Amino acid sequence: MSYKRPESILVLVVTRGAEVLMMERTRPHGFWQSVTGSLRWGESAARAAARELIEETGLRNVRPVDLHQSVRFPIVPPWRARYAPEARFNHEHWFLLMLPARRTIRLNRTEHRQYRWMPAAQALSRASSWTNRRLIRDWMLRHLQAVGDSPADTGHCVRLSYSSYNHRTDHNNHRSEQDV
């Protein structure tokens, strides 16, 4: 048996109008997320992010920005059999893809049932995983502060740019859901 690599990517896809792409997984029902996926053996995180964007959304010829931020979290028991017996934690690398406006998404129907472009505040409440919620929250706060809006005013559309994202290194963050 070939075990999965305990390393993955999370790509937040957003528009300059502060809309976030969210997709509902086929299983479990009601699980909403951004673009995610495991790294293949020998694959870089950047290459995995580009590959997963194509596989899950059909978006090609785009360059997600490596945020140089990552989290480490326990692999939950239902998924542990996919990994080598000694693998207990997954390392997730975070990326951002800023689009000028909404794009039509071509879902991989084996993975996702539907997609929606949502205001950032709605995406924050809809995201099922704590890491996805944290990335959305961090992005909202940084971008709203960068343009001078109140972080509480999450429904307001703002003009955003790649350069306004504060690239921060957080490679040793080992928080669990209870810490967030």
Domain assignment present for 161: yes
pLDDT for 160 equals 35
108 in Cβ contact with 22 (< 8 Å)? no
CATH number at residue 142: 3.90.79.10
Give how many domains the chain has, as a whole number. 1
Tokens of 152: 């509480």
Domain assignment present for 1: no
Domain span holding position 35: 7-179
* Cα–Cα distance, 38 to 3 (Å, whole number): 11
Local confidence band at 150 (pLDDT 50, 70, 90 cut-offs): low
Query: pTM here?
Result: 0.82
